[in-house]
Amino acid sequence: MKRKLLTVLLFVSCLLKIQAIENSPPPIIPLPTHLQMMNGSFELNSDIVIAVADHTRFGSEAEYLQSLLQSILGKEISISQNIKKKGIEIKYNATLPSAEAYKLDIASDKVVIAAKDGHGAFNAIQTLRQIIPLNVQGSVSLPNLKIEDAPGFDWRGTHMDVSRHFFNLDYVKKHLDRLAFYKFNKLHWHLTDDQGWRIEIKQYPKLTSVGAWRTLDNKHDSICIERSKENPNFEIDPRFIHQKDGKTVYGGFYTQDEIKEVIAYAKERHIEIIPEVDMPGHMMAAIRAYPFLLDGEAGWGELFFTPICPCKEDVYAFTKNVLSEIADLFPSEYVHIGADEVDKETWEKSEYCKEFMKKHNLADVSKLQSYFVHEMQDFLESKGKKIIAWDEILEGGTNSDVAVMYWRGWIKDGSLKAVNNGNRVIMTPTNPMYFDYVNSNTSAYNVYMMDVIYPDIPQDKKHLILGAQANLWAEYIPTEAQAEFQMYPRMLALAERVWTNNPTDFDGFYKRLLQHFARLDAFGIKYRLPDIEGFAMENVYVGSTQFMPRSPLPEMKIRYTLDGSVPESSSTELSSPVTISTPTTLKMALFSSGGARGEIYTLNFKPSIMKDAVIDANSKPGLTCNFMNGNFKGSKDLVGKTADETFIVSNIKSPKETKAFGLIFDGYMDVPETGVYSFFFTCDDGGVLYIDNELVVDNDGLHSPLLKSGQAAMKKGLHPFKLDFVEGGGGYTLRLQYSLNGEAPQDIPDSWFKHSASK
C-alpha cells in the first residue's frame, strides 16, 4: 500500500512539474511589457497559412515570416487574405501607441499579430521566433499566451567602427540580423577616421585608393599583433592585408553599390543606418589623400591628429561635396558629423585661421569649430537632413536642432546641458556604453542597471532623451570573433534596458540570458561565455591544494593547460580536481557546445603559510578612511600625500563625488575562521588590496569597471588590512567581496572591519 501511494505521489509530482514547465513564460529578450500565459497550445505545422488582408501595409513582413517558417517546417507556406484553416493572421490595429508596438495572441486555433505599422508586425515576428524552440524541424507546439508590447525608447542602437579595423559586407549583414532579432532599430556606422576611409566618394576617388589603406606599423595594429600571441582573436584579419605599391598594407572600403545593398537589407529589418563622417578632426585618412585639406604639415598635435583647416574655401567645398554624396546615398534623416576630439593647436597658429576668425568675428578656436559645424549643419539641412554630433559640440555653442550624442561620462552634467539647450540626446556614456572596454563579469549588470535618463533631467525635458546605444571602437578589435566577444552577451542586456525602459529584475534577466546562449551558438556568435565560478586569479596554497572550479552550465566544459599554451577545444577537460603543490601557472577557458570559447584565464599559484592573527586590545568597529582631493594615475601617487579629510567608515565604499580623488582604507580584517580566503575587487578606476602587509589584489591604474581577484591564507582573528583606491572622476565603482571554500562571492560584513583606536 505504501509503495502504491508513493508511486501515485511521484506521478502527481511529475505532472505538476510538467504543468509548471508548460505554463512558464518563454525566455524572451527583451522582456515584453505585458505577457500573460494561457491554457492550451497552438500546433505550428506545414498546414498553416499566413493571412494578410492589408498586403500594402504588411506584405513584406508576411513574406519574411513565410521564409522563416518554411525553413523550420520544411514545406512551402502560402499567404492569403484570410484564414480558412489554422494559421497566423497579421492585421491592422490603429489603437496601438506607436509604429513599433504590437500585440501577439497565440490561441489553440490561430495566432494573431496586430500592429499599426510593418515595424510593429516585424517586432512581433521576432518575439514569435524566440517562442519557437531552437533547432526544431517540423511541427511544434507553441504555448497559448497574450502579449502587448511597446518600446520604452525610440533610439535603441549600436555603433560599428569600420575605420580602425575593417569588417566586410557579409559581416555587417550578420550584425543587422542579430540586431533585428533583439529589436534594435539603429546602426550608427562610423565610416571614416584617421586610420582609414571606408566609403567610396565618386568626386574624390583617392579617398579610397589612398585613404582606405595603411601600413601595419601604427600602435593599434602593433598592440593587436602582440596580444595575438596569447589570443588568436587579436590576429590581424588576413583577408584585408594586401600588397600595394610594393608595400604590405591593411584596409578595404565599400562601394556605393555595396552601401545601397546594406541599406536595403537593413530596411527589410526595420533598422535605420546612420552614417558618420567625422570632421573636422579624425580626418588623417582624407588628409593623406588630399593634403590641401591641411594648413601646414600633417602630424600629431597636443592630443590628437591634426584636423583639417576650417578657414579655406576649398576645404568647405570638399566637405560639402562629400556630405552631399553621403546625404544622397543614405535615406536616414540623420547624418553624424562627429566634431569630437579636435586638436585646435594648429588653428591657433594658422595665419589663414587668424584672418578668418577676425573676418567672421570669432572670439576663439572653439567658436571657429562651432562656425564650421554650423556650416555643415546648414548645408545638410538644405539636403533635408538633421545632424548628430558628439557632446563636445556644446562647448563652442550650438543650436537646438543638433542631436547630441553624449559620450563623455566623466562630464556628469553633459546630458543636462544638452536638454536645457533644447537638444535631443542619445546616451552613450563611456561607462557602460563603450563595448570596446573590458567585457567582464560585471558588464551585463552595469548595462542592465544604467540610467538612460539621469536623475537630474527635469520632467519636462525627459522626452528629449531619445534612448541609448552601445559604441564599439575597433582600435583593438581586428577580428569578427573579438568584436562578438566584446559585444555579447551585454548586447542583450542593452536590448532589454532600452526596450523595457526601467528593468529592475537582473536575476530574472540572467536566467533568461542563460537560455539564450544556445541561440547565440546557433547564430555562430563567438560571445563572452558566462564566468567560470569558484576560483581566484592569484592563488596561494598551504602545502598543497585541490583546484576545482565550476562551470556555470553543465553543457559548457572547462579546458586547461599547464604548459603556458592557450586552451583549445582539444585541451584537457577540467572535470576533476587538479592537485597543485608547486608554483604553477594554469590557463583555462570555458567552451560552449557550439565551439565558442570564453575568456582565457591565467591563474598563478604560489606557496604560503597560514598567517597568524594579531592582537589589538584597542580595536574598534570600522576602518580609517583618508580622503585626498586630486587627480591620481594610480595608488602609488597616494604615497606620502596628506589627507584632506579622515573618516571612520563601516565598510568599503566610494563617495559619489563629482571629481577625482583618492582613498586609503586602513585597519584590520577580523576573519571568523581559519582558511584560505578569496577576495574579489571591482573598481573604476584603480585600486590595490593588502592583507597582512602583502599584496593580495592588484587592480591599479585608470580603467573602466574591472574585477580582479586574489587569495590570502589567514588564521581566525585580526589581520592588518589596507585598500587604496583612485577615482578619475567618472565611474565611482568600488566593491570588495570574499569567498571561502569555493562558495559564491558575497559582500564582506561590517563586523569584519576594525581599526586601532590607539592610532
Which of the residues 22, 54, 148, 341 is marked catalytic?
Answer: 341
Q: Catalytic: 657?
A: no
Residue 136 confidence class, pLDDT cut points 50, 70, 90: confident
Question: Is 165 considered catalytic here?
Answer: no
DSSP state of 512: H
All three cell numbers of 147, joined, read 502579449
* HEC per residue, 321-363: HHHHHHHHHCCCCEEEEECCCCCCHHHHHCHHHHHHHHHCCCC
Average of per-residue pLDDT across 14-30: 64
Single out the catalytic residue among 270, 282, 336, 516. Answer: 282
Residue 208: per-residue pLDDT? 98
What span, in angstroms and rounded, lies between the C-alpha atoms of 69 and 72?
A: 5
Element (H, E) at 245: none
Active-site residue flag, 282: yes
pLDDT attached to residue 396: 78
Q: Which three cell numbers stand for residue 267?
A: 530596411
* pLDDT tens-place string over residues 231-283: 889 999 999 999 988 999 999 999 999 999 999 999 999 999 999 999 999 99
The three-state (H, E, C) secondary structure of 227-242, written as one string: HCCCCHHHCCCHHHEE
Dihedral, 634, 640, 646, 649 alpha carbons, nearest 10: 50
Mean pLDDT over 740-748 rounds to 89
**Residues in CB range of 213: below 8 A, 6 or more apart:** 196, 242, 244, 249, 250, 251
Predicted structure pTM score: 0.82
For the record, the C-alpha cell of 715 comes out as 588564521
Q: How far is residue 597 from each of residues 175, 469, 588, 592, 724, measured CA to CA in Å? A: 19, 26, 10, 7, 34
> H or E stretch including 313?
helix 313-329
Q: In the numeric block, which cell numbers belong to residue 444?
A: 551585463
Q: Which segment of 308-322, 444-458, 572-586, 593-607 scores lowest on mean pLDDT?
A: 593-607
Q: Give the active site residue among 193, 496, 538, 692.
A: 193
Reported as half-sphere exposure (CB side, CA atoms, 13 A), residue 752 has a value of 16
Asked whether the predicted pLDDT for residue 79 surpasses 50, the reply is yes
Average pLDDT, integer, range 729-740: 86
Whole-angstrom CA distances from 352 to 264, 344, 367, 553 are: 43, 13, 15, 64
What share of the chain in percent tops pLDDT 90?
78
Mean of per-residue pLDDT scores for the chain: 92
pLDDT tens, position by position, 660-670: 899 999 999 99
Whether pLDDT at 549 is above 90: yes
Cell numbers found for residue 732: 565611482
Q: In angstroms, rounded to a whole number, what is the distance separating the alpha carbons of residues 409 and 729?
A: 9
Per-residue model confidence (pLDDT) at position 164: 97
